[in-house]
Chain A
Amino acid sequence: MRLVIPLAITFTAGMIMILNFFVPHQPFKFLGENLQEWYMIVASGAIFLGVMNLMHVHTRKIRLKRKNWKYSPVTIIGFLLMLVTGLIYGVAESKPFDYLFMNMVAPMGATMFSLLAFFVASAAFRAFRASNWRATLLLTSAFLVMLGQVPIGAMIWDKIPLAKVWLMSIPNTAGQRAVMIGAAMGVVSTSLRMIFGIERSWLGGAD
Chain B
Amino acid sequence: MADFYEKLGNLDRRIIFVLIALSVMIPIIFNMVFPNPVGAEPSRDMFDYVDALPEGSNVLLSFDYDPSTMPELQPMAEAIVLHLFQKNINVVGMALWPQGASLGQDAMSSMADSLGKVQFEDWVNLGYKTGGGVMIVRLGSSMSAVFPTDRDNVPWFEIPMLRGISTLESFSLIISLSAGDPGIIAWVMMAGDRFGVPIGGGCTAVSAPTLYTYLQTGQMVGLLGGLKGAADYETLVGIVDGQAVRGMAPQSVAHVVIMLFIIIGNVAYFSQRKKGGVK
Interface residues of A (CB under 8 A from B): 29, 33, 36-37, 39-40, 43-44, 46-47, 90-93, 98, 101-102, 105-110, 112-114, 117-118, 120-122, 124-126, 128-131, 139, 143, 146-147, 149-152, 154-155, 161-162, 165, 168-169, 172-173, 176-177, 180
* Minimum CB distance partner of A135 in chain B: B266
| CB atoms of A168 and B255 under 8 A apart | no
Residue among A36, A101, A107, A146 facing the most chain B CB atoms (10 A cut-off):
A36
Whole-angstrom distance from the CB of A14 to the nearest CB of chain B? 13
A29 neighbours in B (Cβ, 8 Å): 141
Which of B47-55, B56-64, B170-178, B203-211 forms part of the interface with chain A?
Answer: B203-211
Residue ID in chain B nearest A142 by CB atoms: B262
Q: How many residues of B sit at the interface, in one of the four size bands?
A: 35 or more
> Given that A33-B138, A121-B261 are contacting pairs, would A149 and B255 also be in contact in the complex, using a CB cutoff of 8 Å?
yes
Q: What are the residues of chain B within 8 A of A112 when measuring CB–CB?
A: 68
Residues of B within 8 A of A39 (CB): 131, 134-135
CA distance A177 to B214 in the complex (A): 9
* Chain B residues with CB below 8 A from A150, complex form: 34, 228, 248, 251-252, 255
A161 — which chain B residues lie within 8 A by C-beta? Answer: 37, 39, 41
In angstroms, Cα B251 to Cα A152, docked, is: 9
With contact pairs A128-B265, A150-B251, A165-B40 given, residues A122 and B17 touching in the complex (Cβ less than 8 Å): yes
Q: Do residues A113 and B68 form an inter-chain contact, with CB atoms below 8 A?
A: yes
Chain B residues, CB < 8 A from A147: 255, 259
| Chain B residues whose C-beta falls within 8 Å of the C-beta of A110 in the assembled complex | 67-68, 70-71
Q: List the one stretch of B79-87, B97-105, B155-163 in contact with chain A.
A: B97-105
The answer to whether A121 and B131 touch (CB under 8 A), given A109-B68, A161-B41, A172-B212, is no
7 residue pairs bridging A and B, Cβ less than 8 Å apart:
A91-B102, A106-B103, A131-B269, A149-B205, A151-B34, A151-B248, A172-B209
